[in-house]
Structure 1
Amino acid sequence: MAVLFLTIIYVTFISLGLPDSLLGVGWPEMYPEFGVPQSFAGIVSMTISLGTIGSSFFSGKLIRRFGTGKLTAFSVLGTACALLGFYLAPHFIWLLVAAIPLGLGAGSVDVGLNDYVARHYQAHHMNWLHSFWGIGALTSPLIMSRVLSQGASWRYGYLVVASIQFALVIVLFLTLPMWRTREPRISVKATATEEQPLEEIRFLTFIQSKKVRAALYAFFLYIGVEATVGLWSSSYLIHAKGIDSARAAIAVSGFFGFIMFGRLVSGFVSMRLTNRQLIQIGQVLIVAGGVLLFVATSYSLLLLGISLIGFGCAPIFPAMLHDTPQRFGEEVAQQMMGVQMAVSYTGSVVLPPLFGFVAPKIGIQTLPIFLIVYGILMYLASERLNRKVDQDQAISE
């Protein structure tokens, strides 16, 4: 039963990844139909992310009141309905309306499952959990690519993904009794954490520490890289490199596919390398992939570049999350986890729309330059954090 329950958690995380890459792949076909500028993809992405940020702040209270299983099931149901709303949307405004429950549902699933796995499982389980996110993020571009290659509307891509989400909802509701048997253990731990001093959960208290600020910069920039590639790489390949929509969608699938594969591999590698080493390797690969994406002149090299960025992204987020107790101490780890998640979502709100508004002025061909700069800044922030952690450990010894 324990293995089955862990499998359900993994499969549930697929639902988190399914919608994440769909907008970026479908947008080149969507915005002409709605008669809006290309940059409006950033508005939709921002709306989704704002919903995710909002739900992340309240997920802890909702989990304690309704239980992780029930909240997860209803959250996935909300995302399924939102995707159906994208399929039916007659006007751009309706995309924004549907984006709200999509973000709210995603935030609750993300925080709830990450918190559960971080507290009850080992580092390789965290990597494997996020590899299942990659399965979802990989699958939806392939679906959209198939739909577009057959000459059908992008709407049918959303319909297919919505149907998969509804199927996952059925599984979650059927397995609610398995969650209920484990809820008391979750609630006891959550309640114990809530009894810590109030100042430990205040954002302004956290950011007074240089160590905390360095960590938050790294989270902000990492999600910015991942979200910017997911949203704009298809448009970059089409408009800057002359790749057709179907092949561009395959390339984006390669990005998410290598995130998935990389996290699967990282789960095994984490038994030999430290989280710090995995993070450093990933950041170097992101910069290298950005350089290759910029200079590549053939589709195969473009595919290699974007896949290299995905492989670099793979270990960073799970390793940073799992390192939280070691970096900041067990007594504030859960509060710090929530702050990191919120700042991560903020990165997805700010950086992809930033490029969307800047691109019409300086050219969409500058996308790899943005990714290279983000990767370098993330590396510098992480190294600053490592120095502060080492200094604190030296003082304590």
Structure 2
Amino acid sequence: MYSLLLAIIYVAFISLGLPDSLVGAGWPVMHQDLGVPVAFAGIVTMIIAIGTIISSLLSERITLRFGAGVVTAVSVAMTAAALVGFSVSDQFWMLCLWAIPYGLGAGAVDAALNNYVALHYAARHMNWLHSFWGVGASISPFVMGYAISSGQGWSTAYLVIGLVQGALTLALLASIPLWGKVDRDRAGATQGPADAASGADADAGAHAPADLTPDRAAPVPLATALRIPGVVLILLTFSAYCALESTALLWSSTYLVTARGTSPAAAATFGALFVLGLTAGRFLAGFFADRLGDRALIRGGFVLIGVGSLLLALPLPTDVLGLAGLVVLGLGSAPIYPAIIHSTPVNFGRRNSQAIIGIQMAAAYTGSTLAPPAFGVLATWTGMWILPLFLAVMVVAGLVMSERLNRVVDSSARA
């Protein structure tokens, strides 16, 4: 039963990644067809981000009322409808309108799925699932590129991905009884699959809050969740990580051209090295995640990002180290997001995990939305050379906050 549902969740994570690259991949053509400036892409992505933040914050209340299975199915249905809506939009305001259900659906399914996996499955699955998100995010640009190059237009790409999401919605609707059975099995057991601390996380599990019991029936208010020791620290850690990930993703190619003298064509190609490192790193991390534990993965990931930033910054006449730096950045980034999510029930208790994961998702979307334009303003004043330094500052901030969190969790358990 666990395995069948897990297979469905893996497919759902591919679905999460599929639409994420479509706007960026298609916008060079879309803005011309819609008759709007190229900068208007920021309006669409901002509407989506606001929707994801709102639904992430509301995810616990919604999930407690309807269940993770229903929330996941309905949320994917909303994204499917939004993508089909994008495909028939011939005015910019229509695109903005459909961005609302897209953002609301994406945030709700992200928070619900991440919490469900953190509660029910081992750390290796959290890493592999997020690797599958990378697979989906890597596929959609090729779908968009083929649709445009074949003359079918960007709307066809949105329609195809929307229909795929629609098919997944039907599968998720059929799987709803499975989610309830897994919940009942977990409630009847003294210790479920995700409760057993393993490897290097055994010490963290021993110090976790003593509320590893079935989830409470009432939602945790936002103000109450924020007062739980360590929650603000994990939000700062998550925000710093997502800020550096989204900034590296957006600006690395531009950095290679303006600061390292790489040709634009080569930089566009090599810029994908970060995403490839991220996806491959999450796949590899899954093999040793249970043995090392979440704390070691977060700590090691930040250190590796620091090494990648240094390689990117070295003023050598060859591009080899800079390109290697992008791969190392991706490999270091790979385990941090899944490990933060997976450690939430251990750090703060199962009864609080859905509320806190929802807040974490909101912090993640806030950091990833605001950091790239903020860095763009900073780079305008100082020069693009500052990118490795910016990444290093985010690494230090994230590492310091996560280490402080570990001490808070341990001291709370001893109190």
Match of 1:379 among 387, 393, 399: 399
Report if the CA contact (8 A) 1:34-1:92 is conserved: yes
Letter in 2 for 1:193: D
Separation in 1, partners of 2:144, 2:385: 24
Which residue of the partner structure matches residue 9 of structure 1? Answer: 9
Separation in 2, partners of 1:147, 1:83: 15
Q: Deviations over 1:229-255 (max 9, x none)?
A: 4445466667775423xx666545543
Report if the CA contact (8 A) 2:214-2:350 is conserved: no
Q: Deviations over 1:219-273 (max 9, x none)?
A: 11122223334445466667775423xx666545543333232222212212321
- What TM-score do you get using the length of structure 1 for normalisation? 0.82
Question: CA 1:78–1:361 in structure 2 vs 1: closer, same or farther (change >3 Å)?
Answer: farther
Separation in 1, partners of 2:335, 2:248: 16
Root-mean-square deviation over aligned CA pairs = 3.6
Which residue of the partner structure matches residue 315 of structure 1? Answer: 335
Separation in 2, partners of 1:285, 1:223: 15
Report if the CA contact (8 A) 1:137-1:256 is conserved: no
Question: CA 1:67–1:336 in structure 2 vs 1: closer, same or farther (change >3 Å)?
Answer: closer
Which residue of the partner structure matches residue 243 of structure 1? Answer: 264
Letter in 2 for 1:383: E
Secondary structure of the residue aligned to 2:290 is coil
Which residue of the partner structure matches residue 366 of structure 2? Answer: 346
Which residue of the partner structure matches residue 409 of structure 2? Answer: 389
The answer to whether 1:194 aligns with 2:216 is: yes
Report if the CA contact (8 A) 2:14-2:133 is conserved: yes
Which residue of the partner structure matches residue 109 of structure 2? Answer: 109
Which residue of the partner structure matches residue 256 of structure 1? Answer: 275
Report if the CA contact (8 A) 2:48-2:99 is conserved: yes
Question: CA 1:186–1:64 in structure 2 vs 1: closer, same or farther (change >3 Å)?
Answer: farther
Question: CA 1:287–1:17 in structure 2 vs 1: closer, same or farther (change >3 Å)?
Answer: same
Report if the CA contact (8 A) 2:281-2:335 is conserved: yes
Separation in 2, partners of 1:312, 1:60: 30
Letter in 1 for 2:133: W
Letter in 2 for 1:345: Y
The answer to whether 1:70 aligns with 2:91 is: no
Separation in 1, partners of 2:39, 2:254: 10
Report if the CA contact (8 A) 2:59-2:354 is conserved: no
Q: CA deviation at 1:7?
A: 0.4
Which residue of the partner structure matches residue 198 of structure 2? Answer: none
Report if the CA contact (8 A) 1:145-1:249 is conserved: no
Q: CA deviation at 1:52?
A: 1.0
Q: CA deviation at 1:154?
A: 4.5
Q: CA deviation at 1:152?
A: 7.1
Match of 1:219 among 238, 244, 248: 238
The answer to whether 1:336 aligns with 2:362 is: no
Q: CA deviation at 1:8?
A: 0.6
> Aligned residues: percent identity?
45
Equivalences for residues 272-291 of structure 1 within 5 A: 272-291=291-310
Letter in 1 for 2:406: N
Q: CA deviation at 1:49?
A: 1.6
Equivalences for residues 68-217 of structure 1 within 5 A: 68-146=68-146, 153-179=153-179, 181-182=181-182, 193-195=215-217, 201-208=220-227, 211-217=230-236
Separation in 2, partners of 1:274, 1:60: 26
Q: Deviations over 1:350-391 (max 9, x none)?
A: 223433555556556654443333223212222222333344
Separation in 2, partners of 1:332, 1:355: 34
Q: CA deviation at 1:11?
A: 0.8
Separation in 1, partners of 2:87, 2:407: 49
Letter in 2 for 1:259: L
Question: CA 1:181–1:203 in structure 2 vs 1: closer, same or farther (change >3 Å)?
Answer: closer
Which consecutive unaligned segments of at least 5 residues does structure 2 have? 190-211
Q: Deviations over 1:17-36 (max 9, x none)?
A: 11223333444554455555
Number of aligned residue pairs? 390
Report if the CA contact (8 A) 1:21-1:231 is conserved: no
Separation in 1, partners of 2:140, 2:175: 25
Report if the CA contact (8 A) 1:67-1:183 is conserved: no
Which consecutive unaligned segments of at least 5 residues does structure 1 have? none
Report if the CA contact (8 A) 1:42-1:352 is conserved: no
